[in-house]
């Protein structure tokens, strides 16, 4: 029997993943603000960090409304997301902006997936979050301006962006292996408990193939986002 939309456990996984992703981004952005060259730029990064925190709170609230323990829902994603952050520490203010932009972009892909699959209350939340994506335009403008001022940055930042997405896909691969139910949902929009074998068995071959396709489409959208920042793949 398929679970109803409001108690779909794979949607719980997705909300937990996104909630911890936002909390983690909050911490990293707050740290990175220390790299900002001026008081004004510190304030700008702090404001981006506060936005992440508010999304975290809304996702957490939604998990509570769904009758789930939010911290339990987040727990499986703490290690892979922390690992991603540890492997991608920005060395400058503009690297930190590129990371936020790339991270937001990938998160956006996941949010849209949730919107497709989830119950009405959750979809509303997701749409509200996506409406805020205006900040992406703001960040890409700042990065573009920095690259125009110092063209040597373009190559360095393009490499950086490639590393960011590479490390993200590598962590996502780990998550997909450990949580086939989530992998199936992301790959196919299938969210029934039978997809890809049980959680204990690991992901089936078919699911790994579709997860690969999903990653392919994330990489495609990543290329578009790079272009928006004036970088190349």
List of residues contacting a copy of itself (CB under 8 A): 20, 23, 26-27, 30-31, 33-34, 38-40, 42-43, 46-47, 49-50, 53-54, 56-57, 60, 71, 74-75, 78
Token couple for 161:
């962006």
CB 176, min distance to a copy of itself, A: 22
Residue closest to 103 by CA, chosen among 16, 210, 17, 213: 17
CB 54, min distance to a copy of itself, A: 6
Complex with a copy of itself: residue 78 or 219, whichever CB lies closer: 78
Complex with a copy of itself: residue 26 or 215, whichever CB lies closer: 26
CB 185, min distance to a copy of itself, A: 23
Length of the chain: 233
CB 126, min distance to a copy of itself, A: 20
List alpha helices for 33-178, DSSP H. 39-65, 70-87, 93-117, 120-131, 134-149, 153-178
CB 51, min distance to a copy of itself, A: 9
Complex with a copy of itself: residue 61 or 116, whichever CB lies closer: 61
For 20, counting Cβ atoms within 10 Å of its Cβ (0-12 exposed, 13-18 middle, 19+ buried), the class is: buried
Token couple for 209:
């193939």
Complex with a copy of itself: residue 41 or 188, whichever CB lies closer: 41
Please spell the DSSP secondary structure of 186-209, one letter per residue: HHHS--STTTTS-TTT---HHHHH
Complex with a copy of itself: residue 62 or 225, whichever CB lies closer: 62
């Amino acid at each position: 029997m398929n679970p109803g939309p409001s108690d779909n456990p794979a949607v719980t996984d997705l909300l937990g993943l996104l909630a911890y992703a936002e909390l983690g981004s909050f911490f990293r952005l707050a740290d990175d603000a220390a790299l900002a060259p001026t008081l004004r730029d510190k304030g700008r990064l702090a404001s981006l960090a506060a936005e992440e925190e508010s999304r975290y709170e809304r996702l957490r609230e939604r998990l509570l409304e769904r009758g789930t323990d939010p911290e339990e829902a987040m727990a499986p994603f703490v290690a892979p997301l922390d690992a991603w952050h540890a492997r991608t520490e920005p060395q400058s203010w503009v690297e930190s902006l590129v990371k936020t932009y790339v991270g937001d972009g990938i998160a956006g892909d996941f949010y849209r997936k949730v919107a497709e699959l989830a119950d009405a209350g959750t979809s509303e939340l997701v749409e509200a979050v996506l409406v805020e994506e205006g900040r992406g335009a703001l960040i890409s403008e700042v990065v573009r301006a920095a690259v125009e001022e110092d063209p040597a940055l373009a190559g360095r930042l393009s490499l950086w962006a490639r590393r960011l997405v590479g490390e993200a896909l590598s962590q996502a691969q780990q998550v997909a292996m450990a949580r086939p139910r989530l992998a199936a949902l992301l790959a196919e929009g299938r969210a029934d408990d039978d997809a890809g074998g049980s959680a204990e068995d690991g992901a089936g071959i078919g699911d790994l193939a579709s997860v690969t396709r999903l990653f392919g489409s994330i990489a495609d959208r990543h290329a578009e986002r790079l272009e928006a920042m004036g970088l190349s793949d």
